Amino acid sequence: MMGIIVPLCPLRRTQIASRCTLLLLLLLFNSISQTQALSAPTTATYTTGTSTSTSSVRSTMEASKRATATLIAESLGLESVVGWAPSLPSLGVGFVEAFEPPPDATKPLLSWLSLLSISTAGIAAASAGIPEPTQDQVQLTAWSGPLTDVPHLITRLSVVHAADESNESLRLMMDFRPRLDAGYQDDPEPTSRAAFVKAGVRRDYDTAFFTPETRQWRETVLASCQNDHGAVESADTPSAKVFSRVGSGKGDWSVCHGPLYLDVTMPHTETSLQTCLTACQDATDRWQTWVKAANTDTDDASSWMNSRLIYDRDNQVRAELFSNAVGEYEELLYGDADADADKGRVIALADAGRLDMIGHNDIGRGEGDYY
């Protein structure tokens, strides 16, 4: 199976030494990206000053997540999205590989799968000689289909290299994003009709996905990162919220992240990286178990109201997370969320998936049997 590799370009024109060099690098990058197979590890090479270096750490992270993406795609019958986002610039510091169900899929368990890899090393090298920290980031994102209540999945690994190469930090982020507002941020004791409805959804999710055993697994991962690698858990929770409703009640604001959200930073070593890679694989294995156990022929799945509520909130969550990602990528690439929104938007769009994801919105495909 071949995965599409879409290179991204966050470099500004004022940072490019010469147009000739740019053209040569462009041709070289295209030649490499068009001949790589999905199963083969991608090695990210970039220019730093007058020499070319290879990020073995980034290559290791890419290889691990690419293998995971391959297994998911094969087990769920996904196809690589050939020619995805063709308007993206061809020279850059990363790529997106995307997968989706075939066009004739009737009840897809998964709507979109993407592997994103980006690096800021080239930008730091072109920053007027001012030393800057660089970062390699690799993430896997899966959007479940609307006929199941299986949470969406995201796992992300980031390695930040100090400007003087004195140290490196490793950041692990994982989340299972709930499909409906289960009120995990609310008071656990419901006092209103809407709160009782959300408590019912929360009970169902805690029985099917966020079980005591799964919560203990999350705590075990956190303890291992803290005790074995000196990790510090982020004190900030994600700010992304959407206004959605559950059942026929009035809408309410709800967070996009789930109760098992994890975000920790630790010194980067070979052992800490292996711990994080294992944690990401364990998270994906748990999520795949839920997906494979999902039944799209149940009363809930065939319920117009239930699937529509999931569909509506999925679209809201996607839009909110995309909007946040634009600023995040700009800040990651340039240290300024307002530096060049178009560049951040290019990356965010490539990773976010189709506007008309199969199973989420069939407009333009001549279908519409779901809703």
pLDDT in tens, 208-258: 999 999 999 999 999 999 999 999 999 988 889 888 776 555 677 889 999
- The CA dihedral of 352, 233, 330, 51, to the nearest 10 degrees, is -110
Residue 85: Cβ within 10 Å count = 17
Mean pLDDT by 10 residues, the chain (371 residues): 44 37 33 30 27 62 94 93 63 78 87 89 54 82 91 95 80 96 83 85 95 98 97 91 71 88 96 96 97 81 75 89 87 62 76 68 35 25
Tokens of 265: 């930073």
Q: Are 340 and 210 in contact (CB under 8 A)?
A: no
> Is the pTM higher than 0.95?
no
pLDDT given for residue 361 in this prediction: 47
pLDDT given for residue 326 in this prediction: 85
pLDDT given for residue 37 in this prediction: 27
Q: Are 313 and 244 in contact (CB under 8 A)?
A: yes
Q: Are 95 and 65 in contact (CB under 8 A)?
A: no
Left (φ > 0), alpha (ψ -120 to 50) or beta: where does 359 sit?
Answer: left
